[in-house]
């Protein structure tokens, strides 16, 4: 069997030997502000087609090839069938005034037949429109390569490509169809001839307004896209993408009794979430963050409905990191951040999910307005409501829901980012958040308590305790640290008692500012994930830096004396992931 790692390698070698620069995948979050997420390999190359950038200067060739991380929200409702996905890898070769149709088609033919050993079922070419002629040239080239090839002519909707949702280079395409393990002919490769620039989106192109606004490009471009998952499916002769080696380990990690569609959605969404998180996206109510939130919450909802633990979600993320990490190192680097973000989102959603499920069950019918209210009040996303609502949600459709969403966003846009508990934030260090003076006092006290807690945990549990995360709100401090097992109740009590003893001593809390190397020599604790400046503040609780009970690199703010904390209480201890414990604590 040709494994997917071999397919990537063969693809890269094939184009290298034909003078193409190997360009690494760009981020799923594009630099082009007109698009939400990277939907195709050509996206990072747009300026080379228009002549705004020079490929020879930038990567030494007029042609390039890549395996690009891509994400299409347009297919989200189809996920669960044999082959639709949100996240996918797109193999592609690109030429910017380098070669024409003959080379593009011949190369593709060679790769599919000679390198992959596949038989082509048929190809499609553009039938022509009012201003773009029928593509006889491509049809002729195909026939020269294989005289009995089945060439089918198709229209704008199928064989004229432009980037989804944004403006850019576009043109007629020729597509290759190959038979999969279920005996169906599926499209695997889309070869686009970029001859035009269109100022609007692909959706507009299809609406038929395209012809008159197409502007010819000065140079002929080639842009191709071949989904790795689909290619793996035909190469590995499976019936679905989920049986290929790209998904099999994920599906195998799910309980066998889950129904097939649920397994596929979970596998797709977990994989997509891990990749979005590795590119720095975090769940939120807008943009890419909103897409991520929907993926993650749908997985949480399935886990909840099937009485499964989110440890399985974590396990899936870890499989993605292990399987794809060698190809996409960002996954490895962001490993902890990915897992932490998953649990943080769960913590938010856990508060309302059960109520949301019950609310849906109690509603006689659910339209788009009601669905949006469910999102607003309980964070239930469109996909969950649609699914759980069943026939009651027949009247609910994505367009109306999105319209409700857009209406709401427009009315709350002003200053929305700064909102927190109904106030503008007066403090947001990332770790500490406060909306007013009163809250500021409380989070400052919790912050000092967190320093004392970390030292107390080290005293009780030993040196292997190290900070893995910290988040402080007006209600509590939440401290994550590495430790291999559950912390026993008596150990928690000991740590709590130590902190309270240090509060009773009313130690001064102050800082010194030192060059970073010197600061490290003081033995102060610091958080390995954080990037510190040249000079850092070391906050310490004690009468001198040397004799202090706690020393930590920190930007503040802190109380001036530990006595201000009054009384410290640990509320809860739990695991967030393997080897990471989480403590929630508060002060009076
Ligand atoms: N850029 C070609 C494709 O996405 O199919």
Question: In this structure, what DSSP letter does residue 209 have?
Answer: I
pLDDT value of residue 474: 84
Indicate the top mutation candidate among 108, 162, 192, 193 to test ligand 1's pocket, ranked by most ligand atoms within 8 A of CB.
192
CA-to-CA distance for 419 and 267, rounded, in angstroms?
Answer: 34
Tokens of 437: 């003076």
Question: For residue 224, which atom of ligand 1 is closest to its CA?
Answer: 2
Q: What's the angle, vertex CA 287, arms to CA 286 and CA 288, rounded to 5? A: 120
Q: Ligand 1 center to residue 239 CA distance, Å?
A: 23
Q: Which element (helix H / strand E) includes 373?
A: helix 368-378
Enumerate the H helices of 392-523 as residue ranges.
Answer: 398-412, 437-461, 489-504, 516-521
Ligand 1 within 6 A of CB of 42: yes
What does the pLDDT read at residue 147?
Answer: 97
Spacing, Cα 2 to ligand 1 middle (Å) = 24
Does any ligand 1 atom lie closer than 6 A to the CB of residue 176?
Answer: no
d(CA 540, CA 526): 12
In this structure, which residue's CA is closest to atom 3 in ligand 1? 225
43 in contact with ligand 1, CB cutoff 6 A = no
Q: How far does the centroid of ligand 1 lie from the alpha carbon of residue 120, in Å?
A: 19
Q: Which atom of ligand 1 is nearest to the CA of 39?
A: 4
C-alpha pair distances (Å), 210 with each of 42, 51, 180, 198, 545? 20, 22, 34, 7, 71
E-strand ranges in 483-587 read: 509-515, 535-541, 550-553, 568-577, 580-587
Alpha-carbon span 394 to 366, nearest angstrom: 8
Q: Whose CA is nearest to atom 5 of ligand 1?
A: 225
Rounded Cα distance, 86 and 273, in Å: 10
**Which strand (E) or helix (H) includes residue 90?**
strand 87-96
Going along the chain from its start, the domains and CATH numbers come out as: 4-242 (3.30.930.10), 252-411 (no CATH), 433-587 (3.30.980.10)
pLDDT along the chain (588 residues), means of 10: 96 98 96 84 93 94 98 91 96 97 98 97 94 94 98 93 82 96 95 90 69 85 98 97 98 97 98 97 92 97 96 98 97 94 93 94 94 94 94 92 83 42 60 81 94 96 89 90 92 96 95 90 82 87 93 91 94 85 92
pLDDT score of 209: 59
Would you call the peptide bond into 385 cis, given omega within 30 degrees of 0 as the criterion? no
Distance 39 CA to ligand 1 centre (A): 8
Give CA–CA dist 83/156, Å, rounded: 23
CA of 555 to the centre of ligand 1 (A): 47
Q: Reduced to 3 DSSP states, what percent helix, strand and coil does the chain have, rounded to the nearest 5?
A: 45, 25, 30
């Amino acid at each position: 069997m040709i494994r997917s790692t071999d397919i990537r390698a063969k693809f890269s070698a094939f184009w290298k030997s034909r003078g193409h620069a190997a360009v690494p995948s760009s981020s799923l979050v594009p630099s082009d502000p007109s698009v939400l997420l990277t939907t195709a390999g050509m996206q990072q190359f747009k300026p080379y087609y228009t002549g705004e950038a020079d490929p020879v200067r930038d990567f030494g060739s007029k042609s390039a090839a890549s395996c690009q991380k891509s994400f299409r929200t347009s297919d989200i409702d189809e996920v669960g069938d044999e082959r639709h996905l949100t996240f996918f890898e797109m193999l592609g070769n690109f030429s910017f005034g380098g070669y024409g149709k003959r080379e593009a088609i011949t190369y593709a033919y060679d790769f599919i037949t000679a390198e992959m050993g596949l038989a082509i079922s048929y190809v499609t070419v553009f039938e022509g429109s009012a201003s773009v002629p029928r593509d006889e040239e491509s049809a002729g080239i195909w026939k020269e390569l294989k005289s009995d090839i089945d060439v089918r002519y198709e229209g704008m909707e199928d064989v004229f490509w432009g980037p989804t949702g944004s403006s850019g280079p576009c043109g007629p395409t020729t597509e290759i169809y190959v038979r999969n393990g279920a005996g169906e002919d599926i499209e695997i490769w889309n070869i686009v001839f970029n001859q035009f620039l269109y100022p609007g989106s692909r959706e507009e192109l299809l609406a038929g307004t395209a012809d008159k606004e197409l502007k010819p490009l000065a140079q002929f471009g080639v842009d191709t896209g071949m989904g790795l998952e689909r290619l793996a499916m035909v190469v590995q002769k499976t019936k679905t993408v989920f049986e290929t080696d790209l998904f099999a380990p994920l599906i195998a990690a799910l309980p066998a009794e889950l129904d097939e569609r649920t397994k596929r959605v979970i596998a797709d969404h977990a994989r997509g979430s891990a990749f979005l998180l590795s590119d720095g996206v975090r769940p939120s109510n807008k943009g890419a963050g909103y897409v991520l939130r929907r993926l993650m919450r749908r997985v949480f909802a399935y886990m909840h409905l099937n009485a499964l633990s989110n440890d399985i979600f974590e396990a899936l993320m870890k499989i993605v990191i292990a399987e794809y990490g060698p190809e996409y190192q960002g996954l490895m680097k962001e490993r902890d951040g990915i897992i932490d973000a998953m649990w943080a989102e769960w913590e938010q959603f856990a508060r309302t999910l059960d109520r949301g499920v019950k609310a849906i069950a109690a509603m006689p019918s659910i339209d788009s307005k009601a669905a949006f209210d469910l999102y607003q009040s309980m964070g239930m996303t469109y996909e969950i409501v649609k699914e759980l609502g069943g026939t009651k949600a027949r009247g609910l459709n994505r367009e109306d829901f999105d319209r409700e969403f857009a209406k709401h966003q427009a009315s709350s846009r002003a200053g929305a980012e700064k909102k927190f508990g109904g106030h503008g934030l007066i403090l947001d260090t990332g770790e500490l958040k406060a909306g007013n003076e009163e809250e500021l006092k409380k989070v400052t006290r919790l912050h000092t308590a967190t320093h004392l807690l970390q030292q107390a945990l080290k005293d009780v549990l030993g040196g292997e305790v190290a900070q893995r995360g910290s988040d402080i709100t007006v209600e509590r401090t939440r401290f994550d640290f590495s430790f291999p097992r559950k912390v026993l109740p008596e150990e928690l009590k000991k740590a709590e008692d130590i902190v309270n003893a240090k509060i009773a001593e009313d130690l001064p809390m102050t800082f010194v500012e030192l060059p970073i190397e010197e600061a490290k020599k003081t033995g102060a604790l610091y958080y390995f994930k954080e990037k510190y400046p040249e000079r850092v503040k070391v906050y310490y609780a004690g009468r001198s830096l040397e004799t202090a009970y706690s020393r930590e690199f920190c930007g503040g703010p802190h109380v001036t004396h530990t006595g201000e904390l009054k009384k410290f209480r640990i509320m809860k201890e739990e695991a967030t992931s393997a080897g990471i414990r989480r403590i929630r604590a508060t002060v009076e």
